[in-house]
Amino acid sequence: MTALLEARNISRSFGGLRVTDDVSFTLGAGDRVALIGPNGAGKTTLVNLITGDIAPSAGQFLISGEEINGLSIPERVQRGLVRTFQTTRLFQNLTVADNVALAIMQRRRISKRFFSVSTERPDVRAEWSEILANLGLDRLAYRKVVELAYGQQRLIELAIGLALRPKVLLLDEPAAGVPHDEAPKILDAINQLPADIAVLMIEHDMDLVFKFATRVLVLAAGRLIFEGSPKDVTADHEVRRAYLGSYADARRVP
Amino acid sequence: MTGIATNDVPARRRLPLLQEAGSALAIAVIGAIGYYLFPDDLAFLTRLIGISFLVLSLDLVTGYCGIATLGHAAQFGVAAYAAGIACVRGVTDPLALLAIGIFAGTLMGLISGALIARFRGLPQLVLSIAVGQLVAALANKLQWLTGGSDGLSGITPGKVFGIYNFDMYSRTAYLFSLAILIIVFVALTRFVRSPFGLMCRAIKDDDLRAKMIGVAVYPRLVLMYGVSGAVAGVGGALTAMSTGVVGLDGVAFERSAEVLVMLVLGGAGHLWGALAGTIIFMIFEHIVAAANPFHWMTLVGLLLILIVVFAPKGLIEPALSLARRLTKGRAS
């Protein structure tokens, strides 16, 4: 079976700095993979490379075996590659329902209609109200996003991701900035994702990583230094050095 | 997945077409007030309606898509010239001239959009000025076609529906323009709430996010520019027919700047904002210019400063929230 997403020897330099250095990995159906690494390791850059926001200097990406390097951002989305953002990027002046409904209508290719009134179409409405209800956002459907708390906005990021029915979902720190008591809601939502899609999650919170991931990728200084199960990652010497290296060096200073 | 949960979202039940019917009625009432109370000013009011199409058109790209432009008169002017030239050369049916204006405006909108929507921010603004200036320069240079700086005169359209003559009191022109305004405004009321219109507002909020849900942003903006050009084209053609002349002022930079001021005054991103801004600005200008022909620009400037300071989002926002408070007070 071909992988849903495959990265082959991806590199990217900004000026002289190699922020992504010969990275290869595959995501298959049902994979739950966590991408971790110290700050500045190039995790978000890697997501931006996958989505087409920036172009790699070398290497290829494939979705279901098809090379996507030449495809624009929307064309990749249409092939099932969907991301959420580390800092929420939502349509702030639209309602929660409109945010999700637009994603649904775009997926179903009815978003170019000129004269039908959009979000209250019964079939579209049924879909967004179900997504919102499952995330506990149904009471907020007609509120403007800009009026909502940050934790709620993070859930809307997920709602939009779900509405697009992705094959590959990239979650960039979905729980970042979410109040501690609301974090479980995010994990619940992630656990409810359809079983057959591939999910790659960037996350700092190791608790969340252990609860979510079946496989862990560790990125340090743009290189993939570890790939394996969550229980092996904390024992790995190189991973410890990548995370703790600066502290170890600090001790040596007389 | 639960089916019961869908009932939790309170439904927004509204009478279909309520908003459209309300808009049509409101414009008809305002139009009737103008017709019966100011029968001597119908030529001015007709000009006002003509300009309101341009402000509505600007609202579509600036208010709904967030595109900054100071060259929007190009769409209006090209349509006015197209209708004027066609009329001088023998096409005199008002509806045919209107169609020609819409076609020319749409074409100009698509061309402008293809250039301007490629960029963002200051480059976009500068490019819009350049497009506007280019059209103005062409209108001046192609004297054999446009009349150059003398203007294109002798536009005498035939009877509307073969019955109503364009009279010197502008009654026909006024009522014809008003009827077209109602039709266009109702269509736009629906259009801005359509999936296409909603997506444009989404693009204005965050175009990268729009791309990330799979939207090809650029073609949509160009298409919106085309729609906007069609609306401006209606205004251009109507103005050419009602005034009988098309001059360089119709494509000038000042016109572009003026309509942007009207839009900001009324409130960008609302159709009613565009209409209110046009009405207030043009009536204020009309009265003040008559009362004090030397210092009227100073007074217009003062009015603008006051409005921008006290209602930075335009007059329509405070007006709407006041209306909401009043209706709420009545309900409770």
What pLDDT, in 10s, does the model give residues B3-44? 444 445 656 656 668 888 999 999 999 999 999 999 999 999
Over residues A153-183, the pLDDT tens digits come to: 989 999 999 999 999 999 999 888 788 777 8
**With left for phi above 0 and alpha for psi between -120 and 50, is residue B81 left, alpha or beta?**
alpha
Q: What is the residue extent of each domain of chain B?
A: 15-252
Asked if residue A100 has pLDDT above 90, the reply is yes
Chain B residues whose CB is inside 8 A of the A51 CB are 212
Residue B2: pLDDT band with limits 50, 70, 90? very low
The residues, ordered by sequence, that sit 6+ positions from A70 with a Cβ below 8 Å of its Cβ are: none
Distance from CA of A143 to the nearest CA of B (A): 12
More confident residue, B329 or B38: B38
Look up the CATH number of the domain holding residue A185. 3.40.50.300
Residue B307 near residue B315 (C-beta atoms within 8 A): yes
| B48-84 pLDDT, tens digit each | 999 999 999 999 999 999 998 999 999 999 999 999 9
Q: Which residues of chain A have a CB within 8 Å of the CB of B205? A: 90-94
pLDDT in tens, A113-126: 887 766 778 889 99
Tokens of B92: 């005199």
Mean confidence (pLDDT) of chain B:
90
The residue ranking higher by pLDDT, A110 or B48, is B48
Q: Which chain A residues contact residue B214 at CB under 8 A?
A: 74, 77-78, 106-107, 164
- Identify whether the C-beta of residue A233 lies closer than 8 Å to the C-beta of residue A226: yes
Quick check: helix, strand or coil at residue A21?
strand
Determine the pLDDT at residue A118. Answer: 66
Is residue A158 a part of any domain in this protein?
A: no
Please give the C-alpha separations between residue A71 and each of A25, A112, B87, B223, in angstroms, as whole numbers: 20, 21, 48, 22
Cβ within 8 Å, pair B199-A106: yes
Domain that holds residue A83: 5-89+165-252
Q: How many whole angstroms from its chain centre is CA A119?
A: 26
210-229 in chain B: CB under 8 A from chain A: 210-217, 220
Q: Would the pLDDT of B256 be above 90? A: yes
Find the range with the poorest average confidence among A76-85, A231-240, B191-200.
A231-240
| Residue B9: predicted pLDDT | 60
Q: Does residue B263 register a pLDDT over 50? A: yes
For chain A, the domain total comes to 1
Question: Is A158 in contact with A189 (CB distance < 8 Å)?
Answer: yes
Distance linking the first and last C-alpha atoms of chain B:
38
Lowest mean pLDDT among A160-164, A233-237, B305-309: A233-237
Read off the pLDDT band of A248 (50, 70, 90). Answer: very low
Smallest Cα–Cα separation from B75: which of B126, B110, B121?
B110
Q: Is residue A24 part of a domain?
A: yes
pLDDT at B161: 83
Burial of A250 (0-12, 13-18, 19+ CB in 10 A): exposed
Q: Looking at residue B318, what is its pLDDT? A: 87
CA distance A119 to B195: 8
Q: How confident is the model at residue B160 (pLDDT cuts 50, 70, 90)?
A: confident
Listed in sequence order, the residues at least 6 apart from A104 whose beta carbon sits closer than 8 Å to its beta carbon are A124, A127, A128, A163
Q: Report whether pLDDT(B273) > 90.
A: yes
Examine the pLDDT at A252 and tell me if it is beyond 70: no
Q: What percent of chain B has pLDDT over 70?
A: 93
| Rounded (to 5) percent helix, strand, coil in chain B | 75, 0, 25
- What is the C-alpha to C-alpha distance for residues A54 and A17, in angstroms, rounded to an integer? 15
Kindly determine whether residue A138 and residue B5, on different chains, have CB atoms separated by under 8 Å. yes
CA distance B142 to B288: 36
Q: How many Å lie between the alpha carbon of A235 and the closest alpha carbon of chain B?
A: 37
Contact (Cβ atoms closer than 8 angstroms) between residue A120 and residue B198: no
Are B191 and A77 a contacting pair at CB < 8 A? Answer: no
Structure tokens at A149: 């708390």
B321 touches chain A (CB under 8 A): no
Q: What percent of chain A has pLDDT over 70?
A: 94
What is the distance between the alpha carbons of residues B78 and A131, in angstroms, rounded to a whole number? 48
Helix (H) or strand (E) holding A9: strand A5-14
Q: Based on the number of CB atoms within 10 Å of its own CB, is B129 exposed (0-12), middle (13-18) or buried (19 or more)?
A: middle
ipTM for the assembly: 0.86
Query: Which of B301 and B88 is assigned the larger pLDDT?
Result: B88
Which range is most confident: A1-15, A211-225, B76-90?
Answer: B76-90
Q: Residue B166: which pLDDT band, with cuts at 50, 70 and 90?
A: confident
DSSP class of residue A95 equals B
Cβ contact B209–A132 (<8 Å): no
Assign 3-state DSSP to chain A and report helix, strand, coil percentages, each to 5: 40, 25, 35
pTM: 0.89
Question: What are the E-state strand segments in chain B?
Answer: none
Q: Among the ranges A35-49, A184-198, B13-27, B231-245, which has the highest mean pLDDT value?
A: B231-245
